[in-house]
Homo-oligomer: A and B are copies of this chain.
């Protein structure tokens, strides 16, 4: 296949020709002024997304061109009301023989999942407290596959494939350094808290590609779901003792305040640190990604999850 967009949809410019595979992220039906139905498609690859109109859509089109379907598309980049749009010349669903997978069309963590798994394993191996080590190991074993593919959130930070594992591994690296600088920290407890704190998201979020919230996620949230599951796993492993209570507390309190979803604030040293490390890594992820998009002397777009601030990149930062 003659791939016209070498760098990906996220980098395409006006007038460029497209002949490539793309993933349908959203598909909405409309009726044109001539009374005929059409489809508004949001198409994406691993670098970004673009809107396209499929005019005079038939009933069959509506059934074929649905979210998560991969399509082969021939077209050209236009502009409409200041935004880029993809004019469709030809479109057809991908065939099994095309050997394309949904995972090729989504953004991924900058670190490979095998490396992430290795780092996780190392951290668990370092732990000395058997109760915590066994609980954490049980969770990793149970959730290994989704843990290595899920995003850390549906938007804002680490919202890409393997985002959750990437977030955990970055936090573990921070924790290691914190422990060196403040040796009073119980490293086992902090490591366990970091690995477990967001695993409830594997049930709160619907999946990797078009991430929404599950009904359970909407009605309970990942924090109480995870507190419950720590209890269940500890029970199955017949682990008793304060470690279980403290691990639950770390998960419960890691949002820091009641109004942010933690019914109890951090009341154990490592709970406070877990909250801080979580905050730091999420902020650094948002900030660094936003700043790579602007040149020195410019401001970033508004960052919603950072109080809507626009950050400045100094001119000496070249």
Contact = CB atoms under 8 A, between A and B. Distances in A.
Give the interface size bracket for A toward B: 35 or more
Given A223-B263, A261-B258, A184 B291 contact: yes
Interface stretch (A91-99, A109-117, A136-144, A310-318): A310-318
Contact of A221 (B215, B263, B306, B307): B263
Given A224-B263, A231-B232, A269-B291, A219 B31 contact: no
A125 interface: no
A246 B315 CA distance: 10
A268 B219 contact: yes
Contacts of A268: 219, 311-314
Contacts of A79: 30-31
A277 to B, nearest CB: 9
Interface in A192-230: 215-216, 218-221, 223-224, 227-228
Nearest to A230: B228
A291 to B, nearest CB: 6
A265 interface: yes
Nearest to A79: B31
Contacts of A288: 182, 184, 269
A65 to B, nearest CB: 17
Task: Return the 4 tightest CB-CB contacts between A and B, nearest first.
Answer: A177-B177, A219-B249, A228-B228, A31-B79
Given A268-B313, A269-B313, 15 more contacts: A14-B31, A31-B80, A216-B245, A219-B267, A219-B312, A220-B245, A220-B249, A221-B263, A221-B264, A224-B252, A228-B231, A243-B316, A258-B259, A269-B311, A276-B280
